[in-house]
């Protein structure tokens, strides 16, 4: 298909070129044709500059670039096309070559008689646009050497700066990376601890039963080293490593005296000590990263963190991709988020779908009995969805709503276990809103609408509302009664019609007999 015009978007403005010599569409992939595009003299005879619409500044260029990336036809580009392209009719259509396929749809919507081709739909357009990008600075004679390069540098920095710009409160990318690193550290710490217990167990096997924590085990191994040097003088140092528990420290010293482990060579002991050092450093880094994640969740998603916990909340954000994506998910999606494989397997085999995904690791699911786990998971997913939306769209980070939602979940668990009736949601949310407004020192703008305002005649607003409701209920009752009265009237009419028809039939029969 032939191409009449080309739109070349460059950092200094929009340039419209007319295709003077149509390229060879049959032999487009031949080496000679490809080389003709790369040669400036040959390519300059194929296209001709029709018009150049320069941008007014860097901000205007950045706005146009954002519109192009989103497939939006701006007013400036629309005016450029109207000025430099001839009017196309139903019989005389014009084909325009573009580089962005999303922009082509917007152009066709505004110019219905204009046909658009992109680099994906036409190889000829792809070659011509490639030639324009290569020789564009030389084909536009109004430009000075280096103008396009400087414009590319400035516009590239501005565009990249706008893409990576983030808000301190809404930056959830660090949470995604932190929870991924935390999961990797858990595996590494467990792997190193297992190998450390295996290696040091040949020397002091009883220590593995006395100290169960991996982090504490690595610290104790570093403090003991060779078990034969342990004495009563090391009691306080060991107790400091095991949470000041002298009973455990005494058990370690006694076990070291009667241990059945063999001695290790100096080379083996050095390897064991290096392994213990690495395990302890990984565990220390994991603690600091967990503390960082807790603080970050308190800044980005305080309500979600207060409701479901830092780790589970961070995993939900990571699985959704961002806090914004999580806030857009319905509660049913949040409930099974992380159990996609089980869901698709159940749909494929027509089995039971999973009741929970990542929220299964929440402490609320463990507190509930087996019969109520499904109901609590639905209720918890609903509250988690609300908390994520509050965190995403609120300007001031606060955990008041998350704490209120957490109390609701706890009350619902007690209700399922045979407890009292939970508090109504409207009351809980109003209390949380009052607490937030009191914290930021702002008066409730909707408080006047709910107050019992006294009118001029002494009648309150609530009383008038109740009166209106009573009148509406009376009208409904009357309408129902009238509908009920109409039903027997219809039945009576039908019966009369039947009797009349029967009388006519009987009279006709009598006449026939008399004849």
pLDDT in tens, the chain (515 residues): 678 888 888 888 888 888 887 766 665 666 766 677 777 778 788 888 888 888 888 888 888 888 888 888 888 888 888 888 888 766 677 888 888 888 888 888 888 888 888 878 888 888 888 888 888 777 877 777 777 777 778 778 777 777 666 454 457 889 999 999 999 999 999 999 999 999 999 999 999 999 988 889 999 999 998 888 888 888 888 888 888 888 888 899 889 888 888 888 889 999 999 999 999 999 999 999 999 999 999 989 999 999 999 999 999 999 999 999 999 999 999 999 988 888 899 988 988 888 888 999 898 988 888 888 889 999 999 999 999 999 998 888 889 999 999 999 999 998 988 878 888 989 988 988 888 888 877 766 665 544 444 444 444 445 555 666 667 676 666 666 665 555 455 556 667 676 676 766 666 666 565 65
| pTM: predicted TM-score of the whole model, two decimal places | 0.59
Delimiting residues of CATH 1.10.287.4070 domain(s) in the chain: 175-295
Delimiting residues of CATH 1.10.246.90 domain(s) in the chain: 301-444
Which pairing describes strands 114-118 and 94-98: parallel, antiparallel, or unpaired? parallel
User: What order of strands is seen across the sheet that includes strand 94-98?
Assistant: 47-54, 13-19, 5-10, 94-98, 114-118
Delimiting residues of CATH 3.30.420.220 domain(s) in the chain: 5-164
What is the number of other CB atoms lying within 10 angstroms of the CB of residue 508?
A: 10
| Fold of the domain spanning 5-164 | Nucleotidyltransferase; domain 5 (3.30.420)
User: Residue 67, class by beta-carbon neighbours within 10 Å (0-12 exposed, 13-18 middle, 19+ buried)?
Assistant: middle
Cβ–Cβ under 8 Å, residues 52 and 13: yes
List the structure tokens of 65.
């670039």
Indicate the class that CATH gives domain 301-444: mainly alpha
List the structure tokens of 486.
């109409």
CATH, range 175-295: 1.10.287.4070
């Amino acid at each position: 298909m032939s191409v009449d015009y080309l739109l070349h978007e460059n950092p200094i403005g929009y340039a419209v070129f007319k295709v003077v010599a149509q390229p060879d569409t049959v032999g487009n992939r031949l080496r000679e044709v490809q080389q003709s595009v790369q040669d400036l003299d040959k390519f300059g005879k194929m296209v001709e500059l029709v018009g150049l619409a320069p941008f007014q500044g860097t901000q205007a260029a950045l706005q146009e670039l954002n519109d192009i990336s989103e497939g939006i036809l701006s007013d400036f580009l629309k005016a450029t096309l109207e000025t430099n392209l001839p009017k196309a009719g139903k019989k005389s259509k014009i084909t325009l070559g573009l580089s962005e396929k999303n922009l082509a749809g917007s152009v066709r919507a505004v110019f219905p008689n204009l046909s658009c081709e992109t680099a994906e739909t036409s190889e000829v357009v792809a070659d011509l646009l490639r030639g324009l990008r290569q020789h564009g600075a030389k084909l536009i004679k109004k430009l000075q050497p280096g103008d396009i390069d400087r414009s590319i540098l400035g516009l590239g920095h501005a565009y990249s700066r706008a893409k990576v710009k983030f808000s301190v409160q809404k930056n959830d990318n660090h949470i995604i990376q932190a929870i991924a690193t935390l999961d990797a550290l858990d595996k590494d710490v467990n792997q190193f601890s297992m190998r450390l217990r295996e290696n040091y167990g040949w020397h002091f096997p009883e220590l593995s039963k006395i100290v169960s924590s991996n982090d504490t085990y690595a610290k104790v191994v570093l403090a003991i080293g060779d078990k034969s040097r342990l004495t009563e003088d090391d009691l306080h140092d060991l107790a400091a490593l095991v949470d000041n528990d002298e009973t455990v420290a005494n058990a370690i010293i006694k076990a070291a005296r009667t241990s059945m482990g063999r001695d290790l060579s100096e080379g083996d002991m050095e390897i064991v000590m290096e392994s213990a050092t690495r395990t302890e450093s990984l565990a220390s880094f994991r603690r600091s990263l967990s503390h960082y994640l807790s603080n970050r969740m308190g800044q980005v998603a305080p309500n979600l963190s207060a409701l479901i916990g830092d780790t589970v909340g961070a995993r939900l954000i990571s699985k959704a991709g961002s806090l914004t994506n999580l806030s857009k998910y319905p509660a049913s999606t949040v409930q099974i988020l992380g159990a996609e494989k089980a869901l698709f397997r159940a749909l494929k085999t027509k089995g039971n779908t999973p009741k929970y995904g990542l929220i299964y690791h929440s402490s609320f699911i463990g507190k509930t009995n087996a019969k109520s786990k499904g109901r609590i998971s639905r209720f918890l997913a609903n509250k988690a969805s609300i908390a994520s939306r509050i965190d995403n769209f609120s300007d001031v980070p606060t955990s008041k709503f998350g704490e209120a939602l957490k109390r609701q979940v706890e009350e619902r668990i007690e209700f399922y276990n045979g407890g009292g009736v939970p508090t109504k949601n409207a009351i809980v949310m109003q209390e949380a809103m009052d607490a937030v407004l009191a914290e930021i020192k702002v008066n409730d703008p909707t408080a006047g609408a709910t107050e019992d305002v006294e009118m001029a005649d002494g009648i309150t607003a609530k009383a008038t509302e109740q009166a209106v409701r009573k009148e509406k209920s009376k009208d409904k009752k009357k309408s129902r009664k009238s509908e009920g009265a109409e039903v027997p009237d219809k039945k009576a009419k039908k019966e009369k019609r039947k009797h009349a028809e029967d009388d006519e039939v009987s009279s006709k029969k009598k006449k026939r007999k008399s004849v």
